[in-house]
Structure 1
Amino acid sequence: MKAISIIGVPMDLGQTRRGVDMGPSAIRYAGVDERLKNLGYTVYDEGDIKVEIKERAHNDTETNLKNLKAVADGNEKLAQKVDEVIHLNRFPLVLGGDHSIAIGTLAGVAQHCENLGVIWYDAHGDLNTAETSPSGNIHGMPLAVSLGMGHPALINIGGYAPKVKPENIVIIGARSLDQGEKELIKEKGIKVYTMHEVDRIGMTKVMEEAINYLKQRTDGVHLSLDLDGLDPDDAPGVGTPVAGGISYRESHLAMEMLAEANIITSVEFVEVNPILDERNKTAEVAVALMGSLLGEKLL
């Protein structure tokens, strides 16, 4: 059985709602360590990446990006840690924190693959840049940054860019896309399964297609799972909930199919905000989905 390294990233600087920095603690409290050990894994909890929270700059002076330096610094540290864990031949399981941390995770992971695939399980595309972002919140930009689009302080984390090619990305669960993101998806030919496709063809078909698509062209697949990809009824503790999302059961099916396909080489679960949650329900959902992704079966 492969060893897993848990890396917490208490980052809440990629957006403006407080509380998501407590996500890693909430997920640990929901029993992630025990769940994975029960599946036979050796689990190393690497603790948390240190994120500077001395001050929250509203905007970087030269751009509209909020907390640019602190977000870049935190992600640089995360990239180094993920790289280190992979060198030890351990599977990186990253706990967020807001979705800006995907910048660091992907920077650490991508250097170990020629053609890294990415499954972006999310209500949002996270494909904004400083020019297209309505808010300046970096948690709406990590996928664009990983494609090499955005501020140099972000795209050059890990010392190289881009981290991923547009044809190696599959977005699942999208239902809230800004105009600039829609244009970029079309321009770059990024594969997207919106909630329309999930409803129309069903999660089984979506996952079969996504898995086959990525199997043909990648040598490793990173799963970036934003809990707001799920319906807010199932995962209420998120900063940017969007009604009409993927159900709890559909999400388990998706994770079970990924486990069966054995293609996931790294994962992060992000945007768990215990302050907005109901009795830690969202962190418990995250841990249950981690179980399914890593081989837990009902029978």
Structure 2
Amino acid sequence: MSTEVHVIGAPMDYGADRRGVDMGPSAIRYADLANELAQAGVDVVDTGDLLVPRAEERSPSHEHAKFLPEIEDVCSRLADEVAATVDDGAFPLVLGGDHAVAIGTMAGAARDADLGVLWLDAHGDFNTPSTSPSGNVHGMPLAAALGRDEFADTAWANAAGLREENVALVGLRNLDDHEREAIRDSAMTAFTMSDIDERGVTDVVEDALDVVTTGTDGVHVSLDMDWLDPDEAPGVGTPVRGGATYREAHAALETVAERDDATGCLRSLEVVEVNPILDQSNRTAEIAAELVASALGKRVL
């Protein structure tokens, strides 16, 4: 990648029950992100963190979509930051924070562009306030960005103008009942961990990239660190056994970089849900930094 990379911290944890992911951006930076990106051969500018008031200072305003006004504020500002980065000819790398920050990243990356989305996650994040068993918005960002149900008239949430047929989910292994039905009924493309087991991660990611690059101007890659198996990446808020291995994760992001080298398709990238409180010696943040570098072109040879 020849474009200058701008690192944008979004230390938000309004979307999750467990506190701690607000420290994710700092943990990823501390894991020598700058050196990893230098080894990928990219120029980096760290723009710092968005100002996000602590969740402990607020009370959830709605039990079915907790902290939604606060999330709107952060995501709206993040969208402006991402859009300005793209307008400046730079590449936005967003460090979360919980996965609700994706609403803002996608909205910003999609301004003046048709966006495809590659979603690497154990979960579908396709709940809405009426279907969510927890009310945690980090389980809703895809539904929000696609204007599903209660989000249909929520302009800040569905500002990305995404189309379901341009979204591919990879590595699913934990879905709520209503969410499973909604994904089956949608026009999104979904690959489970069983698909990866049967076909191999590179074949699956290649197919997913075919989906998200068809009829779009660029691709946003959203990497939730709970996509990896918790034996590999323990420092996440919602770990689920049976996830991607360390090598599978690198192979997946290297496949993204290879497609970008060939087509210039990559428009934005985020890595989310690193929780240092639950981590072991910052291991998850270190892997996150390595995977970002793989996505942006770092290679063994």
TM-score, normalisation: structure 1: 0.94
Cα distance per residue 1:63-105 (max 9 Å; x no partner): 5211111111111110111111111110000001000000100
The one of 199, 203, 206 equivalent to 2:204 is 206
Does the aligned pair in 2 maintain the 1:56–1:67 contact within 8 Å? Answer: no
- Percent of pairs with identical residues: 49
What does 1:207-286 align with in structure 2 at a 5 Å threshold?
207-262=205-260, 263-286=265-288
The one-letter code matched in structure 2 to 1:149 is: R
Shift of residue 57 of structure 1?
A: 4.7
Residue 34 of structure 1 and its aligned partner are, at CA, apart by 2.0
* 3-state SS of paired residue (2:200): helix
| Partners of 2:144 and 2:151 within 8 A in 1 | no
Match of 1:167 among 151, 165, 170: 165
Given that 1:6 and 1:44 are in contact with CA atoms closer than 8 Å, whether structure 2 keeps it comes out as: yes
Q: 1:4-25 CA distances to partner (integer Å, 9 max, x unpaired)?
A: 0000011011011011100000
Distance 1:266 1:282 in 2: 21
2:36 is matched with: 35
Alignment deviations for residues 159-195 of structure 1 (CA, whole Å, 9 cap, x no partner): x645311000000010001111112112212110001
Letter in 2 for 1:88: D
Inter-partner Cα distance in structure 2 for 1:107 and 1:280: 30
Post-superposition CA distance 1:256-278 (Å, at most 9, x none): 11111112210000000000000
Which letter does structure 1 place at the counterpart of 2:127?
A: N
Paired with 2:44 and 2:269, the residues of 1 have a C-alpha distance of: 15
1:79 touches 1:108 (CA, 8 Å); kept in 2?
Answer: yes
| Equivalent-residue separation in structure 1 for 2:295 and 2:56 (angstroms) | 37
Task: Report matched runs for 1:1-299 at 5 Å.
Answer: 1-53=2-54, 55=56, 57-61=58-62, 64-113=64-113, 115-149=114-148, 151=150, 155-157=154-156, 161=159, 163-262=161-260, 263-299=265-301
- Matching residue's letter, 1:285: I
What letter corresponds to residue 95 of structure 1 in structure 2?
L
State the Cα distance separating 1:217 from its structure 2 match.
Answer: 2.6
Cα separation, 1, equivalents of 2:76 and 2:153: 9
- How far apart are the structure 2 equivalents of 1:151 and 1:80? 24
Shift of 1:46: 0.7
Distance in 1 between residues matched to 2:178 and 2:46, nearest whole Å: 39
Letter of the 1:5 counterpart: H
Q: Distance in 2 between matches of 1:58 and 1:178?
A: 26
* SS of match in other structure, 2:214: helix
CA distance in 2, matches of 1:201, 1:154: 39
